[in-house]
Structure 1
Amino acid sequence: MPLSLAVPNSTDIDSLQRSSFGGQLADGDPSNRNASDKTKCIQILGAQNEALIKHFTHVTQSFLAPLEKYFASLIPLQKKVTAWRPIPKIQNFNKRDVLKLIATAEPHGLTLTRNADIVALYSEFMACPNFDRWLKTKVKRANEAMWTYYISQLETADVTEFMTGHSEIEAVDLILRLKEMSEMRNELITDNVVKLMRGHAETIEEGLPDDLRQSIVHR
């Protein structure tokens, strides 16, 4: 993770000033402190801090790049997410597959020269808690993105078109799925989304024969 360095306190700054400005500050005598020098010192330290943050951010991004690329390949294509089909699942993250890819292509920005060192580095990272947190965050965000897109598909879906292009069995399956999803509650499935799901389910159900409608009621 990017490193954040705190700006030193006044005691640390005084010490740095004595070493950097020829020992011009006298201990225990605040009147001898040069406010201008202190300001310059803070500015220098701030610039160094910013440079370090940028450096470690770049290193972190370079290190995660192959993992990000592999994870992106696990996410279903957007065109596979439609209002009338179950939301596709993200494929499992296979650590062995990642290590095979890394062994054949050195990640950009890392200075290790031997592939064996790089593979060992990633292997250790994927065995630590930080990787688990990273992966859980990626999965959560990807699922949220798919749910958001799925809901947008529901909002623009033409139920009449579905009824003319799908079988009764598919219609029953969709009704049950919409009703099941409408029972879920999270930050994405709001009351309006629940109302939308139930409305679609009721509209489709009204177009079914009585015997099928009765079978849905008793499930």
Structure 2
Amino acid sequence: MDRFDRQKNNRELIYPHDAKLTEKEKTSICYLSFPDSFSGSLGDTQFSFRLRQSVGRVSGIWFEETDVYNREAPLPLQKEMAHFYGYVYFRQVKDVSVRRGYFQKSLVLVSRLPYVHLFQSLLQIIAPEFFEKSEPCLEAVCNEIDQWPPPAPGQTLSLPVMGVILQVRIPSKDDKPGGSPISQGQKEKRLSSSMVLSTIHELDIFKCFQSVLIHIQLLWELMLLGEPLVVMAPSPAVSSETVLALVSCISPLKYCCDFRPYFTIHDCEFKEYTTRTQAPPNVLLGVTNPFFIKTFQNWPHIMCLGDLKMSNLLKQVKLKKLTKLKMLDTKPGVYTAYKPFLHKDKALIKRLLKGIQKKRPSEVQSAILRRYLYELTQSFVLPLERYLAGLMPGRYPQDEFFATLNHAGPQTPKGDWLGLYKKFFQSSNFDGWFRAKQREMIQKLECLHLEAICEADLPSWTKDKSEVETVDLVLKLREKLRRAHTQQLLVKEELLHKLQNYIHSVISSLPEDLQTVLDKN
């Protein structure tokens, strides 16, 4: 993790000092670490952003397919190859000793991991002390963080920092939905010396979607299909939380389009994303500057957020037309001409609205909503996975799949599921899902092949083979073993040990000159 601090458009401190960030990345972080307008409110605020890494940067071993973490982590929590996440703690307080009359500073934690709740909790511990003591505090904190164990899916970690021990569990792709160190609805525990986090990444999605609750299924469809969407919010905190909540609402699918929890006019991709000479890109943007209302007039879907009273929630039945967008007094809602494929689930909306009336805790409302969206996504993905299981890698005949939907497709909610699948097949999310499944299937085939080799009678096979054929076999078997170890294929250790012993015995039976060559390779 790289730590980064900035004050008044100048980089004040980077820690560690040898952090490998390009000048372009540092400049972008500077702009993204401050609210678009930070003169109106005092106090502390937290938000996050996502930054495209510079072209030509060497990603390193972290992002090879052999990475252990990425193979075991859920798709939405895998390390990013082409982007950084920035987690910001911004403080603005009156200070007569400063020329502008205000102390304004941001502490930013930069990581490739989407652990928004963990890193924001970490900043809540570090930032107040850092604003008082500056670099000595940051150096001590970084020394502690350097001693943390690497994230391991399925493991619970104790992470000491500044006298507090953060206890977290790193999710695994094998976790059952809803599993958590703390049961749903129970608040996190904060003791004098320890803090047990219920999650490393989940947000209060009910709070994020409350003002557009009626349209939650429409938003799910837009995310599933990777449609261009702009979220206009009153603050970077609301913007970033809502964008991340939208991305998470199609879990366990990974959102494979670009998304920016907080986007400003200073962003390097501003011209790319606001051009009117071509169709809007498939990207999800969170913005706060009213200037963007005019800039994004040609976008097909715009979501405006703001305070909304309970009495007005029931009036959100209709979607708003894009022509009704105004520069200043834009009302909360979803502005689009999109016609959903699926019918609205009135039972879900009724249950959540009733929860509001009964003042049900927000974390319980979030659990209900998250479970519903998870099951909706699962019901959509299950027929795809069931059909894919009967195919060889590299094939996915869509017409044959469509023919199975009548008897093996999802049944609820009612609607045009066939049309939704057809649209999904054209999206980046389908491409990302299919590639991930291909990798899984290829690895399974490699496991079966390796097991067959390990159990074969290799000594008998090599008895009448030439030296060239034998050497070729040794090289191929070595490569199989290497891939088995680097990719941690699920093959019994005793079989791999047996194969290793066989390779040694074959090499020792060859002439000394060949043994020397093979020992060097």
Can you list the C-alpha shifts for 1:1-52, whole angstroms capped at 9, x where unaligned? 999762439xx999549x9xxxxxxxxxxxxxxxxxx9x5143x54443333
The equivalent position to 1:100 in structure 2, one of 400, 416, 438, is: 400
Identity %: 20
1:165 Cα offset (Å): 4.4
Is residue 162 from structure 1 mapped to residue 451 from structure 2 by the alignment? Answer: no
Q: Is the 8 A contact 2:206 2:365 kept in 1?
A: no
Number of equivalent positions: 170
Deviations 1:81-119 (A, max 9, x none): xxxxxxxxxx2133xx23323224324324336xxx60x
- Kept in 1, the 8 Å contact 2:380–2:410? The answer is yes
Task: Give the TM-score normalised by structure 1.
Answer: 0.52
In structure 1, C-alpha distance between the alignment counterparts of 2:501 and 2:443, rounded to whole Å: 23
Corresponding residue of 2:380: 63
Q: Select the residue among 348, 359, 371 that pairs with 1:41.
A: 359
- Rounded Cα–Cα distance in structure 2 between residues aligned with 1:104 and 1:71: 12
* Equivalent pair of 2:450/2:480 in contact (CA under 8 Å): no
Please list the CA deviations of residues 191-212 of structure 1 after superposition, one character each: whole Å capped at 9, or x if unmatched.
x99987654323223446x59x
Letter in 1 for 2:394: N
Check whether the contact 2:481–2:496 (CA below 8 A) recurs between aligned residues. yes
Give, in angstroms, the shift of residue 122 of structure 1: 1.9
Once residues 143 and 98 of structure 1 are traced to their aligned partners in structure 2, the CA distance between those partners, rounded to angstroms, is: 20
State the partner residue of 2:410: 109
Structure 2 residue runs of 5 or longer lacking an equivalent are 1-75, 77-176, 178-201, 212-306, 314-355
Matches within 5 A, 1:58-207: 58-74=375-391, 91-94=393-396, 97-106=397-406, 107-110=408-411, 111-112=414-415, 118=418, 120-147=419-446, 157=454, 161-165=457-461, 168=465, 171-181=470-480, 186-188=486-488, 199-207=501-509
TM-superposed deviation, 1:65:
1.7
With over 3 angstroms needed to count, the CA separation of the structure-2 counterparts of 1:122 and 1:128, relative to structure 1, is same
| 1:52 alignment partner AA | L
**Which whole-Å deviations, capped at 9, do the CAs of 1:133-183 have from their partners, x for residues lacking one?**
2123223333444556666777xx468x32124552664442120233456
Greater per-residue helix proportion: 1
* SS at 1:112 equivalent: coil
- For residues 158 and 136 of structure 1, the distance between their equivalents in structure 2, rounded to whole angstroms, comes to 30
Using CA pairs below 8 Å that are at least 6 residues apart, which structure has the higher relative contact order? 1
Measured in 2, the distance between the counterparts of 1:158 and 1:59 equals: 43
Distance 1:175 1:135 in 2: 34
Q: Cα distance 1:150–1:158, how it changes in 2: closer, same or farther (>3 A)?
A: closer
- Alignment partners' CA distance in 2, 1:7 and 1:121: 25
- Aligned-residue CA RMSD (Å): 4.9
Q: What amino acid is aligned across from residue 93 of structure 1 in structure 2?
A: R
Supply the AA of the counterpart residue of 2:505: T
Distance 1:202 1:138 in 2: 35
Contact 2:204–2:366 (Cα < 8 Å) also in 1:
yes
Q: Is the 8 A contact 2:206 2:369 kept in 1?
A: no
Answering whether residue 367 of structure 2 is matched by residue 50 of structure 1, we say yes
Shift of 1:124: 1.9
C-alpha distance 67-41 of structure 1, shift in aligned 2 (>3 A):
same
Larger Rg belongs to: 1
Does the CA contact (< 8 Å) of 1:178 and 1:201 recur in 2? yes
Which has a greater percent of strand? 2
In structure 1, the gaps of 5 or more residues are 20-37, 76-90
